[in-house]
Structure 1
Amino acid sequence: MGQTTKGACHCGTVQFTADVDMASARRCDCSICRMRGAVAVSAPLDSLTVTAGMDALTLYQFNTKEARHFFCSKCGIYTFHQRRSDPTQYGVNVACLEGVSPFDFTEVEVMNGQFHPRDGGGNRVSGVLRYTSTD
């Protein structure tokens, strides 16, 4: 699918490896994604391995309880989530990936999570976020 990379939360308690598709970078405008503001990339479920801190991961679910959002219980950072739109994938927070920053992406599509594909909304893009460096 993509490249195998290491990831970790802010404090380093939760560490993982995943085979991520960097070209899949996107954001979402559903209630939780709006608040956390992360850029996520796709990884197949079987490619993500938690290598440290499994006991520190906290699961958060809401509404339909289909998506599974994981956070470090020590520093609070969102690390990855099992997607509702495609339960065979994780969305991985790019800010947790070694050597990657959300600002590495000049454009990131924003998916319309307010009208979710599983609720008949389709995979519509609601906008594009752009980053332009001032350097």
Structure 2
Amino acid sequence: MKTYHGSCHCQAIRFAAELDLAAGTMRCNCSFCRKIRCWATVVKPESFRLLAGEGDLAEYQFGAKHERHFFCKHCGVRPFGIARSPRRGLFYGVSVSCLDDAAITELANAPVTYVDGLNDNWDTPPADVGYL
């Protein structure tokens, strides 16, 4: 585990998260994740700290509204979201692309699990992942 610091593009939103990139990251093919090119890692609530910008966050929800997608209302970048699932319980989905102090080698070596959120089939990757 390592503590990473992250932010949105304009730095209004800043956070710290304790996570292990080597334990894996995720890319999903659902309509939302595809459009934002989401590359996330799961962080336990006790391992996430919002350091600045609570008042600069805007929220978006869709569908069953199980997930809370937060984005900066100034620059539009989505640094994290909060969700609850039967498998993981409550968790933060932190955008790997927003980790400011992750080394390029750490990002390049982070394993990626592809999930078929489009069809609610979380245990099987989609047939084609090249576009994710």
2:116 maps to: 112
| Higher fraction of helix | 2
**TM-score of the aligned structures, taking structure 1 as reference length:** 0.81
**Structure 1 residues 35 and 41: alpha-carbon distance in aligned structure 2, compared to 1, 3 A threshold:** same
2:61 maps to: 61
Query: What is the total number of aligned residue pairs between the two structures?
Result: 125
- Structure 2's unaligned 5+ residue stretches are none
- Structure 1's unaligned 5+ residue stretches are 131-135
Q: Which has the higher contact order (CA 8 A, sep 6+)?
A: 2
| Higher fraction of strand | 1
Structure 1 residue 38, shift from structure 2 partner: 2.2
Q: Percent identity?
A: 34
1:21 maps to: 20
Instruction: Decide whether the 8 Å contact of 1:108 with 1:129 is kept in 2.
Output: no
Q: Which runs of 4+ in 1 moved over 3 A?
A: 84-87, 127-130
Instruction: Decide whether the 8 Å contact of 1:21 with 1:42 is kept in 2.
Output: no
Pairwise CA RMSD of aligned residues?
2.3
Work out the CA distance in 1 between the residues paired with 2:82 and 2:64.
13
**Structure 1 residues 60 and 87: alpha-carbon distance in aligned structure 2, compared to 1, 3 A threshold:** farther
Residue type of the alignment partner of 2:114:
V
